[in-house]
Structure 1
Amino acid sequence: MIAKTLLATAIAVAAVNPAFAQAEILGSDRQACTGNGGPAIRVNVTGLKDRTGRLKLELYPANEADFLKDDRDLLAEGKVFRRVWADTPANGAVSLCIRTPRAGRYAILFTHDRDGKNKFNFWKDGAGFPSNKRLGRSRPKVTQAVIDVGNGVTATNIRAQYLRGLGGFAPSDS
């Protein structure tokens, strides 16, 4: 049974993006994506500007009021919040894993903390969401970040975006 589950997960990830089929999974929740520990989200990240700093995934409730809300407030209110950090690998494909409390709908945020200061630097750091729509200059909407998670591992691709002049955030190669 476990072998079938692992095979199904590998096939699903390869179908989302074959380049990530053999990628090392990063983050403290990696076991949830490699073992039978779901529900979890495997995020395959592309478009990193460089290989500096750290990578972060954050899990939020999938509603506008709670999306990007301070983690202390969410936890105090008994709402979903989870954060996973990983050092940026020097090379190779980048995949991160984050556990979810149960199957359901969530919002997820990816950030590339290039200066390692654990505070989003609008001028340097990158961000991304599952929709991969150009972020522009305005605060992101929860609809850009929503992902439906099943009982196993749900794979998604996120393209990192960085500030690109007056137009706001966009992929670094656009």
Structure 2
Amino acid sequence: MIRPLIAAAATALALAATPAAAQQDPVDGNCATRAGVSLYVNVAGLKDRTGRLKLELYPPNEEDFLRDDTSLKKENKPFRRIWATVPQSGPVRLCIRAPYAGTWAVLFTHDRDGKNKFNFWEDGAGFPSNQKLGRSRPKVRQALVNVGAGGGQITIKAQYLRGLGGFGPLDD
């Protein structure tokens, strides 16, 4: 009797300790049933169908953009992340939930080796502006998207290292 209660309490504590921002949203139509506002992201130009895909949603300012999620959570700043397996064929459509309607910064990455650490030489990235990333650190203005009260949809072109010119889409 005591053992199941302890196990249930431990499970409840573990779930409560998981920050809402770190929880994964579904990547299909069920995204609409979660709290917040749905942003659907169509991904174009994947190099291949390996690894995992990641979407991250940041506050829309230069200071918080691409900051470590632990720091953002500590300061109670909004942050969301979803992971998805790469579909073996067909269109790639992801869904992430913004906490509320407004302007957000969005980062897409293609983690080709599945190691959850960006590999400059192999992995891809992309932002809503679809500007060529080149060799410099992206600016928040490249990542901004407005998510309306009814949600939104954007297309992000994946970009990969293309020699000395830095990151760019494969079809350029």
Match in the other structure for 1:32 = 31
* Per-residue deviation, 1:36: 8.4
Partner Cα separation in structure 2 for residue 120 and residue 98 of structure 1: 20
CA contact (8 A) 1:37 1:152 kept: no
| 1:2-55 CA-partner distances (Å, limit 9, x unpaired) | xxxxxxxxxxxxxxxxxxxxxxxxx6253234x586511100000000000000
Match in the other structure for 1:137 = 135
- The answer for unaligned runs of 5 or more in structure 2 is 1-24
CA contact (8 A) 1:38 1:151 kept: no
Match of 1:148 among 138, 146, 150: 146
TM-score (norm 1): 0.81
* Per-residue deviation, 1:153: 2.1
Partner Cα separation in structure 1 for residue 67 and residue 164 of structure 2: 26
Match in the other structure for 1:80 = 78
CA contact (8 A) 1:29 1:99 kept: no
Q: Is 1:112 aligned to 2:110, yes or no?
A: yes
Q: Is 1:124 aligned to 2:84, yes or no?
A: no
AA aligned opposite 1:149: V
Structure with bigger gyration radius: 2
Partner Cα separation in structure 1 for residue 68 and residue 34 of structure 2: 31
CA contact (8 A) 2:160 2:167 kept: yes
Partner Cα separation in structure 2 for residue 36 and residue 98 of structure 1: 10
Partner Cα separation in structure 1 for residue 104 and residue 151 of structure 2: 14
Identity %: 64
Q: Structure 1 residues 105 and 166 mapped into 2: Cα distance closer, same or farther (>3 Å)?
A: same
- What is the aligned residue count? 147
Partner Cα separation in structure 2 for residue 127 and residue 120 of structure 1: 9
AA aligned opposite 1:73: S
Partner Cα separation in structure 2 for residue 101 and residue 149 of structure 1: 10
Q: Runs of 4 or more off by more than 4 Å in structure 1? A: 35-38
Match in the other structure for 2:64 = 66
CA contact (8 A) 2:38 2:151 kept: yes
Partner Cα separation in structure 1 for residue 113 and residue 107 of structure 2: 18
Q: Structure 1 residues 138 and 32 mapped into 2: Cα distance closer, same or farther (>3 Å)?
A: same
- The answer for unaligned runs of 5 or more in structure 1 is 1-26
* Per-residue deviation, 1:152: 1.7
Match in the other structure for 2:41 = 43
Q: Structure 1 residues 92 and 145 mapped into 2: Cα distance closer, same or farther (>3 Å)?
A: same
